[in-house]
């Protein structure tokens, strides 16, 4: 018997399915902020309101048979709507997010947090269909997904927040292909030997595999997969043809200018500097220099009026200001997590930013896009916000234009790659010393703050958010200072 999640894992890669059963310790789970937050309302729970008044089958990991029995009892009792209805059949164990009965029969609804129906969802729903088709008269199979055109105005409108697509025909077409695959996956899971499956495009399609590090342990570092802006399919093609190392890439692959520089500087262990390109950027920067960085969050369920699902909502900024005399000052803003941050953050940044001088960001398109969105949302501040945009300069420019390239960039021009390469072993500039170490962690942390019950932890977390964002702009100060010393 396989669970739906095991089948979906195995359809992507049979080796991943085997490893999950036989070598679970090799899984590499993404970084999370664990143990701090109460679980909030999920998309699945909210979608249940489309079919209110149903009965819930409580999940118990070690009582799957009991869940199946409870589901059957609810059906026999005449229940018309069941949440997490659980079945086993055709070698599969699966739960249905929402099972609803009307005059036509039973309808399966699978809830997804995505804003579109993906092909993998057909396989997912087919697993559910195979478990119930012999037990119930299934009238339709559907995907409930998020409508990213919905803009909240007042109370949350559940019917506008979600879209429903009937995928019955697609599921019925995929059904016959899936049955023999399930039998094969069961055999693979039970075999004693690890499947001999090499890395490939399947490692990240449709989902990034959590055994990727284990399966890539044989690769030298760096390797062809680090080459700058090389299409994924090309990387695997070179790998399959035995072109893996930088030496092999240098000898046998037609590299573009950036890739050549990347490979050559690493093999020669030299730093490439083009003073003319660096100074061309430095000369554009005007005092006072405002080193500026936004942090944003996005969430499937909009909390505030005028907010769309997954809209980037700026909630924090850090601002270091450098005067021509060398004096540095720092301003920062962190929104109250219970209120719409947009008006407060816009007014704070307009007050904090000097009226003249350059505004420096790293990959400025992100900051500029957020400012344009704020201007659209806040017409009373539109002119002042839009006036900031021509003052922006992008610190990534001298790196992308190859004015400065260090072998430890490894084909990346992100600030997280550039900073440690330019300032190795500098603890003051090490993100790993912080509780919050990247933008993704900052986003998740702030979005979950309203669910936090402990006020002491709240203060600690808000301090950690401020420290993280402050390092982003302090990093820009240090990087630009190093660049302008290049003559």
Q: Would residue 266 count as lying in a domain?
A: no
- pLDDT (average), residues 304-314: 97
Same domain flag for 246 and 321: no
Report how far residue 172's alpha carbon sits from residue 422's, in angstroms, rounded to the nearest whole number.
57
Question: Are 14 and 133 found together in one domain?
Answer: yes
Q: Do both 288 and 388 map to the same domain?
A: yes
- Total tally of structural domains belonging to the chain: 3
Residues of the chain above pLDDT 90, percent:
90
| Cα dihedral 404, 405, 408, 414 sign | positive
- Is the residue at 228 inside a domain? yes
Q: Confirm whether 261 is domain-assigned.
A: no
Domain identity same for 104 and 242: no
Indicate whether 365 and 434 sit together in one domain: yes
Cβ-contact 343, 307 below 8 angstroms: no
pLDDT of residue 455: 76
Burial of 112 (0-12, 13-18, 19+ CB in 10 A): buried
Domain boundary among 174, 190, 206: 190
Other residues' Cβ atoms within 10 Å of the Cβ of residue 471: 22
Q: How confident is the model at residue 31 (pLDDT cuts 50, 70, 90)?
A: low
- State the average pLDDT over residues 113-140: 95
Mean pLDDT of 240-259: 98
Angstrom CA distances, 334 to 182, 317, 328, 345, stand at 50, 7, 20, 8
Q: Are residues 173 and 235 in the same domain?
A: no
Residue where a domain stops, chosen among 145, 174, 190: 190
**DSSP bridge pairs for 304:** none
Query: Would residue 350 count as lying in a domain?
Result: yes
CATH number at residue 44: 3.90.320
Inside any domain, residue 270: no
Please report whether residue 316 resides in a domain: yes
Checking if the pLDDT of 88 tops 50, the result is yes
- The mean pLDDT of 221-239, rounded to a whole number, is 97
Both 322 and 426 in a single domain?
Answer: yes
pLDDT over 80 (residue 61): no
- 159 — pLDDT class (breaks 50, 70, 90): very high
Q: Do 323 and 284 belong to one domain?
A: yes
Instruction: List Cβ neighbours of 214 (8 Å cut-off, separation of 6 or more).
Output: 19, 23, 26, 28
In a domain, residue 198? The reply is no
In a domain, 210, yes or no: no
Binned at pLDDT 50, 70 and 90, residue 487 comes out as confident
| CATH (domain of 336) | 3.30.420.10
Residues 245 and 288 in one domain: no
Reported confidence tier of residue 36, pLDDT bands at 50, 70, 90:
very low
Rounded Cα distance, 56 and 65, in Å: 16
**Domain encompassing residue 111:** 2-190
With CA atoms as reference, report the closest residue to 335 among 207, 244, 462, 197: 462
Cβ atoms of residues 165 and 115 within 8 Å: no
- In this structure, the number of other CB atoms found within 10 A of the CB of residue 176 comes to 9
Helix (H) or strand (E) holding 123: helix 119-132
**Phi then psi dihedrals of residue 315, to 5 deg:** -125, -5
341 with 313: CB under 8 angstroms? yes
Q: Whole-angstrom Cα distance, residue 57 to residue 72?
A: 10
54 lies in the same domain as 185: yes
Q: Based on the fold, state whether residues 61 and 114 are members of the same structural domain.
A: yes
pLDDT averaged over every residue in the chain: 95
Residues 302 and 430 in one domain: yes
Q: Which DSSP state fits 159?
A: H
For residues 290 and 357, is the Cβ–Cβ distance under 8 A? yes
């Amino acid at each position: 018997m396989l669970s739906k999640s095991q089948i979906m894992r195995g359809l992507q890669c049979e080796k991943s399915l085997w490893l999950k059963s036989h070598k679970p310790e090799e899984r590499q789970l993404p970084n999370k902020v664990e143990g701090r937050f109460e679980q909030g309302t999920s998309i699945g729970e909210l979608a249940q309101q489309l079919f209110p008044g149903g009965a819930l089958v409580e999940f118990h990991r070690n009582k799957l048979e009991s869940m199946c029995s409870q589901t059957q009892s609810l059906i026999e009792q005449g229940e018309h709507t069941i949440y997490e209805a659980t079945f086993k059949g055709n070698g599969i164990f699966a739960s249905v997010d929402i099972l609803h009965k009307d005059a036509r029969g039973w309808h399966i609804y699978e809830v997804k947090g995505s804003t579109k129906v993906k092909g993998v969802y057909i396989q997912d729903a087919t697993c559910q269909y195979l478990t119930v088709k012999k037990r119930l008269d299934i009238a339709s199979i559907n995907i409930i997904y998020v409508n990213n055109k919905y803009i909240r105005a007042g109370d949350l409108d559940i019917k506008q927040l979600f879209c429903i697509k009937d995928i019955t025909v697609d599921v019925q077409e995929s059904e016959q292909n899936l049955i023999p695959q399930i039998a094969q996956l069961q055999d693979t899971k039970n075999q004693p030997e690890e499947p001999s499956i090499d890395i490939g495009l399947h490692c990240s399609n449709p989902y990034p595999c959590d055994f990727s590090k284990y399966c890539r342990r044989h690769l030298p570092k760096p390797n062809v997969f680090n080459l700058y802006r090389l299409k994924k399919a090309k990387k695997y093609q070179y790998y399959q043809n035995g072109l893996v190392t930088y030496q092999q890439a240098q000898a046998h692959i037609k590299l573009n200018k950036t890739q050549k520089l990347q490979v050559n500087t690493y093999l020669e262990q030299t730093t490439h500097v083009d003073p003319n390109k660096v100074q061309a950027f430095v000369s554009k920067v005007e005092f006072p220099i405002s080193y500026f960085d936004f942090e944003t969050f996005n969430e499937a369920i909009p909390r505030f009026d005028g907010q769309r699902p997954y809209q980037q909502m700026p909630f924090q900024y850090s601002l270091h200001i450098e005067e021509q005399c060398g004096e540095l000052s720092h301003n920062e803003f962190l929104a109250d997590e219970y209120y719409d941050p947009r008006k407060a953050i816009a007014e704070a940044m307009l007050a904090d930013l000097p009226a003249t001088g350059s505004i420096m960001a790293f990959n400025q398109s992100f900051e500029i896009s957020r400012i344009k969105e704020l201007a659209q949302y806040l017409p009373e501040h539109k002119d002042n916000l839009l006036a900031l945009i021509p003052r922006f300069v992008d610190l990534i420019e001298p790196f992308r234009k190859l004015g400065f390239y260090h072998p430890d960039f490894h084909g990346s021009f992100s600030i997280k790659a550039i900073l440690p390469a330019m300032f190795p072993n500098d603890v003051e500039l090490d993100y790993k010393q912080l509780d919050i170490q990247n933008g993704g962690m900052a986003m998740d942390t702030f979005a979950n703050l309203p669910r936090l019950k402990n006020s002491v932890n709240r203060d600690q977390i808000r301090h950690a958010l401020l420290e993280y964002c402050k390092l982003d702009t302090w990093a820009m100060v240090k990087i630009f200072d190093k660049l302008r010393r290049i003559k």
